[in-house]
Structure 1
Amino acid sequence: MMRRATVRRTLALVVLVASWAPAIASVLIAWAFELRDLPVEGVFLSASPAIVQSRFDDIGVVVALIYGPLSALLIARRPHPVAGILAVHSIGSGIAALGVQWGLLGFAVPGLPLWGFLAHAAGWGYIPGTIMTTIIPLLLIGAITPLYRALIAIAVACATVGFVAAFTQQSVGGPLNPFAIPDAAYQEQLPGIYGIVVVIAVSVSTVTAVIILRRWLSLGREQRRGLGWLVTGHIFLTLSYGALILPDLDGVPGWVWDFGMIAPVVGQVFYPAAILVIVLGSRVRGIDVAVNRVLLWAILVVIAVSGYLVLVSVLNSILDGEPYAVGIAAALIVALGIQPLRSWLQVRVDRLVYSSGAGPTELIRTLGERVGDLESGSEGLRELADALRNAYRLGSVSIRSVGEDEALTVVGRPVGTVTQIELRAGSSHLGWIDVTPRRGDRVSGRVVRALEELSGVVAAAVQLARANEELERARDDVLAVRQEERRVIRRELHDGIGPALAGIGFGLAGVSNLVETSPDKARSLLERLTDDLRSRLTSVRSIVRAMDTVGDHPDLAARLRALAEDFSGAGVTITVDAPAASHLTALQREAAYFIAAESVHNAVRHGDARTISIDIATQLDRTICLAIADDGRGFEHTESPGLGLTSMRERANAVDARLTVDSEPGVGTTIIVGFGRAGA
């Protein structure tokens, strides 16, 4: 795999050098020797006027400079038949441009090496690639149909015939072509053959334009990415081909020749960009920013220059004024129109390079729709940050929350200057979006404005993540409380009720043995066992009631009175006075009942209490207070708290209540829970 990549990169470099070197050499020769504009006569089989032929080298230089790197990039990243055609086109056009200047240089430098060969290269160098570009769209728009195959075969035949004709032709009085076929009859037929070939090639290009235009019209918006640009570029190239093959006739207006020389330049703006995006697809990442900017400014330059020339021509015909004034007026109009045109064009270039959803408005809509589908918590924020990073081609995106030392999420590796966008929800400041550009790039003002528009969506996602984290913490707290309650119940069953029931069972066996021999002892033992069983039944009821939910019993005072009745059989007097119980919330009522039940259970079992009071009242400061007081044995505060007391504190903390314990040995215990203001 690595070897193939190396071969592709090497081949791409060869194509780039082979196309750029002759093109640049032709420009340097023309500049250094100040050669004439008109090319060497007889090297072109084309019947177009000499003034048009004089621009063939300019077109060749443009094609070599544009298609050379394009074909090299395609070869390096994704080998495709189109890359081969473009490589032939760029190299051939560069050789043709060099041939024009080399042929002219031969008149100034007698005995110039390869003069005849390179001079005729001006005529045959550009032919194969130019004709084969007529069917490039057919290789890009889907499966090859029989019609496409026929058109491709015709284009290959035309390219072959046209190349052979130009490669073997010899004009009378022109430079000697070493590969010319020295047959007069053959040479006489070549112009006609070449004329037929180019007419057929232009016809193939026209049919191809109609095919891709119909395909573009039949597709939906999301499927048209790049195809509209390909249609536009191909139409301009087809029109330029048609204009450049017209013979030098008196009836042809001059603007046709002008258009024939301008149209290729316009076509080279749209055509290569569309090919690049369609062929590479997602592999355009990494060079997409450069493609976007070069394409935008190339189109703006072409439009500005073309618009200026048209305006000068129109203003001259209308105003008939001074050329200086007309030039200033045309420049002013172009300057005023270029900025709104740039904004309009930027959106379309973004759609071509990045996809249709790359515009800020479209992205806001798309992300807004996705917020409800994002994963909750940090994973959802990461998805959102990654979407922003990919949409705007950023180096990194991090989302930070107020009061947090670490970012909530980070995608990419922060490099370079950090740009911050504030996150707000109404008047509340929630945090920031921190973005950095890709290496060697910058965060443009357009991207900052788009992120500011999106900050509301990101703020909503941050709030959602916060709520999810709080929910997870609440779930963990509830689970911990439930686990502790289960441990308490398990301990009660294992250490208390279980052994007690086992003891009662043994006692009943003893009663059975004493019934006949000692009825009085049996009766006394049975009474003790009955009292013990009643006490254990009270404990079981206490555990069951502690497991009740508030939803099943919303009346806290009634539940507390039922709790008191359960313990009445154990010789304990419990009084309940709870006038303020109805002011507590559902969660506060559940916590209050659990704390009261646990306190009564501890007072009866561990403190041997005989009287217990449970009061829920509103204090002077409007706070609601739960107080459980008993006359049991009490305990030392130096003792480590048991599971029961720990569980009560956790219940109080869960509802933001404050629990205090006042206990002295031999005096009793009072537990007070403050729940906050009534009605708060």
Structure 2
Amino acid sequence: MAAGRTLAAGLGALAMAEVGGAVVATLGVGWSWRQALDAFVVTNSVIGAAFALCGAIIAWHRPRNPIGWLLLADGLGHATSALSGPVAQALHDGGAPVALQRLAATAFAYSWPWSIGLFLPLALVLFPDGRPPSRRWRPVVVALIVTGPLFVLESGLDPQPPAPGLPAGYLTLSAYDQLSPLWTVSELRVLAALLVAIAAVVVRYRRGDDVVRRQLLWLLLATVTAAGFIVPWSLVAGTPVAVLFAIPLIPAAVTIAIVRHGLLDIRLVVSRVIAWVLLSGAVVVTYGILVGLVAAQLGRSAVATIVVALLIAPVLPRLQRLVDRALYGDRSDPARVVSRVGEQLAGPGLSGVVSAIRAALRVPYAAVVTPDGLLAEAGTASGAVESVPLEYGGATVGELRVGARPGEGGLGTADRTVLGLMAAPLAVAVHATQLSAQLQSSRERIVTAQEEERRRLRRDLHDGLGPTLTGVALTADAATNVLRTDPDRAGELLTAIRTDVRTAIADVRRLVEDLRPPAIDELGLLGALRQRAEHLAWRADGAALRIRLEVPERLPALPAAVEVAAYRIATEALTNVVRHSGASTVVLRLHCADDLHVEVVDDGPPDGPWRPGVGLVAMRERAAELGGRLDAGPSATGGRVHVRLPLAVP
């Protein structure tokens, strides 16, 4: 890594030194700006500096990526060419040996063709990861490398001197003109190399993910811009050489794409450029047609200019909308986005919704999150993520999280408008999903509670009542056998049977009471609580306990499950006061509004946080089964247990 960075910095510095030498040599020979520009010194210097600097940056940050080294080689070629021209002129003006002049001319002829014929096309084929698009492209890469020297020979073998009055370079060919068919092949090969590079970019764009496509858009923007300047220079005589200054846009775009492709939203830039290019083309074509028609009739083009202006004025907004839709989806049409989201809600559900949002806004990430966790997501969050709250009935049921596009610090106003419109139906969907999940959970709890109750009854019947009744049957058989022979023994057995039967009756009563306390059916909830309070008038240590009930005269009709839970929790809390609190007074409060509230407060001395035991855990579970909430623990005046039970049982 360190050696690669050192080499990259050294080669970059060498290229910049050559550019500096070209400037000094140009000033030394007294060339004017026009002479230096016509001799390609200025353009080669700028191109060489741009390629070398960008190549050094890539090689410094990505030393294993060959693109940086190819751009460095390209820059060195142009920089050497820029230096060799004025140096050859300086040697000639100074009367230097002809060998040195020819050497400088040779360097000029053989340095820059490598850049055009090999380094640049190969870099574009390998862009952006330094590898061919696929294994099938390896022969193409080999062909580019093998045929690359052909263009170098076309330039270097030409016996024409680089400037009038200078000698020709070495390695020239006197029969150069006789090989014109070969040079035509060379020109076609350069064109084919550039077409191959474009095809490689197209293939990568079709197969690439979002990151690769953003990288390729940088290159597309630079290539389109540069081509807009260079193509006229190649096809139209008299086009200024200065248009070649657009070429450095290509290495700059390649560098940004590889090192910092998320610098800004390239899609927005490409959108504007494409719109203006298409509009400019339309203007040129329309103007040409109208000029021909109007000039044939009136002999003037002023009318054509006015007509074109009037026609083009309303075209730009529409053209911009078309380009924006191609790059940004439907974010400028909120109604369309909401319609697509509605279709997903009716079909795949939330997973389809987040995918539709991501596609509609061209964002890298979208997700729906609730307090219970993630419901659905699509894509990967690679940058800033903004949240849109989802509210239903005045309460926040979740949030929609959307990742900002690379290069953007956040979402734009148009994005927020679309998300705001989608928030309402999405909140309804999230609320429905939560209700469905709660219903399923409630059903599972009910089934589990039923199974647990059945298991407890089976255990109590099998372990308690079953053996008792079996013993009664066996004892009755024994009493029958000795009734005539030993009446006293039979009497003892009948007494044992009576005791076992009473025990069995007590077990049956206990089972019935566990299912539903009989006192509730006989006295109602309030009466059952008063009866239980009378039975708990003494603490475990024998001290008196004053229990005061603060309850309404009457209660509305309550669900059976709520009555049982309130009774069990209240009696368990009173029992805990009797056993553990050391209190002298306890207050049982009960009131009913939207929910049923039960509170037990005592004046016992505080003894630190309560440790959850079997009784406290049982109270919490009873409240949770009905969707309620229980708070228990020490307070400033003693112990406190408060439970809220919803009247609508889930």
The TM-score with structure 1 as length reference comes to: 0.52
Residue in 2 that maps onto 1:525 = 495
Conserved? CA contact 1:623–1:677, under 8 Å: no
Tell me, which stretches of 5 or more residues in structure 2 are unaligned?
127-131, 537-552, 565-570, 579-613, 631-643
C-alpha offsets along residues 141-188 of structure 1, whole Å, 9 cap, x if unaligned? 42246963673255233145346537x9756864468x736xxxx553
Conserved? CA contact 1:624–1:674, under 8 Å: no
Amino acid aligned to 1:639: T
Query: CA separation in 2, counterparts of 1:298 and 1:22?
Result: 37
Residue in 2 that maps onto 1:86 = 71
- Count of aligned residue pairs for this structure pair: 545
Residue in 2 that maps onto 1:124 = 110
Task: Note if 1:73 corresponds to 2:58.
Answer: yes
Residue in 2 that maps onto 1:204 = 189
Query: CA separation in 1, counterparts of 2:80 and 2:16?
Result: 9
For the structure 1 residues 214 and 456, does the alpha-carbon distance in structure 2 shift closer, same or farther, using more than 3 Å as the test? farther
For the structure 1 residues 428 and 297, does the alpha-carbon distance in structure 2 shift closer, same or farther, using more than 3 Å as the test? same
Residue 524 (structure 1) shift? 2.3
Query: CA separation in 2, counterparts of 1:479 and 1:91?
Result: 79
For the structure 1 residues 392 and 414, does the alpha-carbon distance in structure 2 shift closer, same or farther, using more than 3 Å as the test? closer
Conserved? CA contact 1:57–1:96, under 8 Å: no
Query: CA separation in 2, counterparts of 1:265 and 1:457?
Result: 54
Aligned counterpart in structure 2 of residue 442 of structure 1, from 399, 409, 412 = 409
Residue 292 (structure 1) shift? 1.9
Question: What pairs up with 1:276-675 in 2 under 5 angstroms?
Answer: 286-290=260-264, 292=266, 296=270, 299=273, 303=277, 392=363, 421-424=388-391, 430=397, 442-443=409-410, 445=412, 448=416, 451-452=419-420, 455=423, 459=427, 463=431, 466-467=434-435, 470=438, 474=442, 485=453, 489=457, 492=460, 496-497=464-465, 500=468, 504=472, 511=479, 515=483, 516-518=485-487, 520-521=490-491, 524-525=494-495, 527-528=497-498, 531-532=501-502, 535=505, 538=508, 542=512, 623=557, 638-640=574-576, 654-655=625-626
Query: CA separation in 1, counterparts of 2:125 and 2:115?
Result: 15
Aligned counterpart in structure 2 of residue 96 of structure 1, from 66, 81, 84 = 81
The farther-off stretch of 87-96 and 309-318 is: 309-318
Aligned counterpart in structure 2 of residue 143 of structure 1, from 130, 135, 145 = 135
Tell me, which stretches of 5 or more residues in structure 1 are unaligned?
41-50, 246-253, 547-559, 565-571, 578-591, 608-618, 629-634, 660-672
Amino acid aligned to 1:535: I
Conserved? CA contact 1:623–1:675, under 8 Å: no
Residue 129 (structure 1) shift? 1.5
- RMSD across aligned positions (CA): 7.3
Q: Tell me the secondary structure at the aligned position of residue 188 of structure 1.
A: coil
Residue 130 (structure 1) shift? 0.4
Residue in 1 that maps onto 2:540 = none
Query: CA separation in 2, counterparts of 1:674 and 1:241?
Result: 80
Conserved? CA contact 1:202–1:242, under 8 Å: no
For the structure 1 residues 526 and 470, does the alpha-carbon distance in structure 2 shift closer, same or farther, using more than 3 Å as the test? same
The TM-score with structure 2 as length reference comes to: 0.54
For the structure 1 residues 124 and 228, does the alpha-carbon distance in structure 2 shift closer, same or farther, using more than 3 Å as the test? same
C-alpha offsets along residues 627-647 of structure 1, whole Å, 9 cap, x if unaligned? 89xxxxxx9995339989996
Conserved? CA contact 1:229–1:271, under 8 Å: no
Q: Tell me the secondary structure at the aligned position of residue 289 of structure 1.
A: coil
For the structure 1 residues 240 and 106, does the alpha-carbon distance in structure 2 shift closer, same or farther, using more than 3 Å as the test? farther
Conserved? CA contact 1:312–1:330, under 8 Å: yes
Query: CA separation in 2, counterparts of 1:364 and 1:213?
Result: 38
Query: CA separation in 2, counterparts of 1:10 and 1:305?
Result: 47
Residue in 2 that maps onto 1:255 = 236
Conserved? CA contact 1:421–1:452, under 8 Å: yes
Question: What pairs up with 1:41-56 in 2 under 5 angstroms?
Answer: 54=39
Amino acid aligned to 1:188: S
Aligned counterpart in structure 2 of residue 180 of structure 1, from 167, 170, 180 = 170
Conserved? CA contact 2:572–2:615, under 8 Å: no
Conserved? CA contact 2:106–2:170, under 8 Å: no
Q: Tell me the secondary structure at the aligned position of residue 639 of structure 1.
A: helix
Query: CA separation in 2, counterparts of 1:138 and 1:67?
Result: 19
Amino acid aligned to 1:201: S
Residue 448 (structure 1) shift? 4.3
Conserved? CA contact 2:271–2:324, under 8 Å: no
Query: CA separation in 2, counterparts of 1:333 and 1:60?
Result: 43
For the structure 1 residues 212 and 413, does the alpha-carbon distance in structure 2 shift closer, same or farther, using more than 3 Å as the test? closer
Query: CA separation in 2, counterparts of 1:104 and 1:454?
Result: 71
The farther-off stretch of 328-337 and 439-448 is: 328-337
Amino acid aligned to 1:155: T
Amino acid aligned to 1:442: G
Residue in 1 that maps onto 2:157 = 165
Residue in 2 that maps onto 1:36 = 32
Query: CA separation in 2, counterparts of 1:491 and 1:641?
Result: 30
Amino acid aligned to 2:170: A
Residue 88 (structure 1) shift? 1.9
